[in-house]
Structure 1
Amino acid sequence: MASGKMILYWGSGSAPCWRPMLVLAEKGLSDKCTSKRLEFSKGQHKGTDILAINPRGQLPAFQDGDVVVNESGAICMYLEEKYSDDSNRLLPQNVNERAEVYQRMFETSNIISNVQEPIVRYRYRTKTEDLDHGYLKEKTVKAKEELDRWNTILKGKDYLCGGKFTMADVFFYPYLALFVRSGAKLADQPELERYYETVSKRPSVQATWPPHWKEGPGPGTLSDL
């Protein structure tokens, strides 16, 4: 059970923010945690209240009583270590199985460096008339290769590490959902598409779906995928 007042500061549509929200939901802790949504567009994540607990002015930021934890992965691991039982574990107790989950968790950095940063973030921050289309063509090829790798990983599996939803899925799925939101069709990655449809139906995902995504379609920045 929760031992202190939990507060999660987050922003809608942020994959890092979505991660701890999923963990809280999977563990049945969402109603025990005060949810404070901030608007990135208004610079609320740079407010004095946030800077007091996270000098970097980044989200998510998390408090559990007197404990402050920043960085999405750290928050997820804190929640896993403190609030796990046999009904809601996201990390296997078997060390060999846990090693596979760890590998996929940290392997997720590759979709950030090969898809999120070079295409999604680049297009978001660059004016249309300033886009380097040669650069985008090159990065799109690498992005497809990255998605193909994950498609192979998922062959014959419901989730990244087999038949159970684990912390690996918590780390990976929010970025995949962001890519689909940004126009990725996954037509060449049927296993990845199946996985996306499966995980999207989980109660924890439905309960934490980014609010502003329900208001309309995404930007289409990954329509070539």
Structure 2
Amino acid sequence: MTSPVKVYGPPMSTAVSRVLACLIEKDVDFQVIPVNMSKGEHKKPEFLKMQPFGQVPAFQDDKISLFESRAICRYICEKYADKGNRGLYGTSPLAKASIDQWLEAEAQSFNPPSSALVFQLAFAPRMKLKQDPGVIKQNEEKLAKVLDVYEERLGDSQFLAGDEFSLADLSHLPNSNYLLSVTDRGALFTSRKNVGRWWDEISSRDSWKKVVEMQKSP
């Protein structure tokens, strides 16, 4: 029996939840190791050996340590290619390239404005921090432009990288879920016919439902 891989960090974290969704899709056994960030556990020397930037998640598979959630997801898909959802990261060079380009779009174009909105609208109130209306307005406009591109793309294909659910779609789940379930900005998605249809499909996957349940656990 191989020991389960270890994911360090709280499921509430968008980056941690991205990795958890990937592991569930790939049917890989895992263990979540709590990291108390309010006590600064992510800045302690033993954690920094795994994640030198002091962020979550950190990931261990036997003697291998990795950081950065998208790189971890690619690794999981490659190492455990024959497990679970085999097409999650494509099965040909062209399929992988298509997934990679939309993963890059998520990381470079979608993530910055959506992360800013998640922080301002979902986390700042919980942390008793003042919201910045200028930051909210600016990033809402940026995200709308990105979603306009997605709307056009999703009129041509069922999912971002083609007609199969992939890592490209999965990577969008964490931030989108906060915007649609915790904030009043869900219309950014639902007002766009194709984006709304896409969101309904990807958010109803069993893997993501399990992650949401993990986020609700104390």
Write the distance in 1 (CA, Å) between the matches of 2:75 and 2:129: 44
Question: Do residues 59 (structure 1) and 62 (structure 2) align?
Answer: no
TM-score by length of 2: 0.82
Tell me if structure 2 keeps the 8 A contact 1:13–1:210: no
1:34 to 1:91, Cα distance in 2 relative to 1, 3 A: same
1:95-131 per-residue CA deviation (whole Å, 9 max, x = no partner) reads 22222111101110211223323x3335655999965
- 2:191 is aligned, of 188, 191, 196, to 188
SS where residue 12 of structure 2 aligns?
A: coil
1:111 to 1:23, Cα distance in 2 relative to 1, 3 A: same
Letter in 2 for 1:162: G
Question: Do residues 7 (structure 1) and 3 (structure 2) align?
Answer: no
TM-score by length of 1: 0.79
Write the distance in 2 (CA, Å) between the matches of 1:146 and 1:18: 22
TM-superposed CA distance for 1:214, in Å, is 7.5
Q: Report the equivalent of 1:162.
A: 162
Identity of aligned residues (%): 25
Question: Do residues 97 (structure 1) and 95 (structure 2) align?
Answer: yes
Write the distance in 2 (CA, Å) between the matches of 1:200 and 1:135: 27
Tell me if structure 2 keeps the 8 A contact 1:177–1:196: no
Q: Report the equivalent of 1:21.
A: 20
**Structure 2, unaligned runs of 5 or more:** none
Tell me if structure 2 keeps the 8 A contact 1:160–1:168: yes
SS where residue 34 of structure 1 aligns?
A: strand
**Structure 1, unaligned runs of 5 or more:** 216-225
TM-superposed CA distance for 1:49, in Å, is 3.8
TM-superposed CA distance for 1:87, in Å, is 5.5
TM-superposed CA distance for 1:206, in Å, is 1.1
The equivalences for 1:46-195 within 5 A come to: 46-85=43-82, 88-89=85-86, 90-109=88-107, 110-117=109-116, 119-122=117-120, 124=123, 131-183=131-183, 184-185=185-186, 186-195=189-198
Write the distance in 2 (CA, Å) between the matches of 1:87 and 1:9: 22
1:64 to 1:128, Cα distance in 2 relative to 1, 3 A: closer
- Higher mean C-alpha displacement, 133-142 vs 151-160: 133-142
Tell me if structure 1 keeps the 8 A contact 2:170–2:202: no
TM-superposed CA distance for 1:196, in Å, is 1.5
Tell me if structure 1 keeps the 8 A contact 2:18–2:69: yes
- 1:200 is aligned, of 156, 178, 203, to 203
TM-superposed CA distance for 1:75, in Å, is 0.9
TM-superposed CA distance for 1:94, in Å, is 2.2
Write the distance in 1 (CA, Å) between the matches of 2:83 and 2:139: 42
1:161-194 per-residue CA deviation (whole Å, 9 max, x = no partner) reads 2321111112222222122134222342122222
TM-superposed CA distance for 1:210, in Å, is 5.7
Aligned length: 211
Q: CA RMSD in A?
A: 2.8
- Higher mean C-alpha displacement, 196-205 vs 126-135: 126-135
